[in-house]
Amino acid sequence: MFYDKDLIKNQVETLVNVASKILFAKNEVVYEASEDSSDPMDDLYVELNNLIENKEFGDGEDLIFDNFDISNDRYLILAIDYYHRLNEFEDDVLEDADFEREEVRDGLKDLIKKCGIPEDAMTV
């Protein structure tokens, strides 16, 4: 079982890297708040941070998909970064929040599909 969870964690890292390379030609993307305080993505970032702090990972995922905007690079970076950050949690923290590591992987896969990246590009 431990091996399976470790494998899934590695799969999520690979998916983050694949999405980052295909969408942004970078090995990894990290959302950074803008200097412009009126950027709505920063508001979403703050809301996601609060949900992460409160271990409300499912609500954060809902927020990601409710605000899906393929035309906004900052949104895509924020969404990829969200899953990357969830993947950093230990399995017991995710499970205590009623969120499995498989859900991190599957949610990221769903996001990548919505971005138009072919399934075979993310085979892990």
What are 35-44's pLDDT values in tens digits?
877 888 999 9
Q: What is the pLDDT of residue 100?
A: 94
Chain segment 62-88, per-residue pLDDT in tens: 999 999 999 999 999 999 999 999 999
Chain segment 6-21, per-residue pLDDT in tens: 899 999 999 999 999 9
With cut-offs at 50, 70 and 90, classify the pLDDT of residue 3. Answer: low
Q: What is the pLDDT of residue 120?
A: 79
Amino acid at 94: L
Count Cβ neighbours within 10 Å for each residue of 58-82 and write b for 16 or more, e otherwise: ebbbebbeebeeeeeebbbbbbbbb
